[in-house]
Amino acid sequence: MSSPEGYAPRDGVLEEQTWPAMRDGDWPVALVPFGATEPHNTHLPYGTDTIMGREVAARVAAACAAQGVRVVALPAVPFGVNTTQLDLRFTINIMPSTQLALLRDVVKSLEPHGVRALVLLNAHGGNELRALVRELQPSTPIVLSIVNWWQAGDHGVFESAGDHAGELETAAIMHVAPHLVVPDRNTWGDGHAKASVFDGVRSGWAWMPRRWTQVTADTGVGNPREATAEKGAAFVAQAVERIAAFCVQLAGADPNAMWADP
């Protein structure tokens, strides 16, 4: 919706919408983006994950609206779990237990308003939301699910998608917020990350959190050099399309018949 005066709240984006726009009718699905506040190499902003979660949620809501399904995109949670990055200045950590308390309150707030499914739209690897969903699902009729937005598109568009502030994330921000990417690529860190000294961790069957400042010199994990706004646009569009299709399916799903033989 737009007008000559420039009024243009996006469909379903709660922080932009008025009460009358949201008050009536059926809103079967809600999205809550989970971001983070942490350094992203030397060229992306602290809010990268929050910006991406918020933007993907807004685009998913618009894509669903275009298919006649109302999806409300809630405001993004700007802080994430960063317990092993606290020696990096102005990283703001919230504990998994805080995240659980917050999510419980969000779910309880949504219950009286007809929302039948809530998608946790995650944008930060340190947010391990499964344990939260496992704890909360038995106490709410709202169907809870998790989407890591960066896994919803095809990584084949990238030379090397990378992990943190790498090619994927850099391309995505170049697409959605180009004014926030440091323009001189020569100043970007190469995102080199050290491998674990443990065989089991390198093989993937053992796990321990990374002490960020021991792993990487520039805070990045993954080389951003090959990132372009075009790759970001292609990847984000594909992720949005897939997540929107998931939301449309959720909107029509019967909570008692969500598993079936193929």
On whether the CB atoms of residues 122 and 146 are closer than 8 A, the answer is: yes
> If you write DSSP's letter for every residue of 49-73 in order, what string do you get?
HHHHHHHHHHHHHHHHHHTT--EEE
The yes or no reply on residue 218 touching Zn ion (CB under 5 A) is no
Interacting residue with Zn ion among 48, 127, 170, 219 (CB under 5 A): 48
Smallest distance, Zn ion to C-beta of residue 228, A:
18
Closer by beta carbon to Zn ion, 12 or else 80: 80
CA distance 14 to 23: 11
Smallest distance, Zn ion to C-beta of residue 49, A:
4
**Among residue numbers 84 through 113, which ones bind Zn ion (CB under 5 A)?**
none
* Torsion sign across C-alpha atoms 15, 17, 19, 23: negative
* Torsion sign across C-alpha atoms 10, 11, 12, 18: positive
Closer by beta carbon to Zn ion, 12 or else 166: 166
Smallest distance, Zn ion to C-beta of residue 52, A:
7
- Helix/strand/coil (H/E/C) assignment for every residue in 73-117: ECCCECCECCCCCCCCCCCEECCHHHHHHHHHHHHHHHHHHCCCE
Closer by beta carbon to Zn ion, 122 or else 136: 122
Tokens of 242: 């897939």
What's the length of the chain? 262
Closer by beta carbon to Zn ion, 49 or else 218: 49
The yes or no reply on residue 49 touching Zn ion (CB under 5 A) is yes
Smallest distance, Zn ion to C-beta of residue 169, A:
5
The yes or no reply on residue 37 touching Zn ion (CB under 5 A) is no
Closer by beta carbon to Zn ion, 28 or else 80: 80
- Which residues of this chain interact with Zn ion, rule CB under 5 A? 48-49
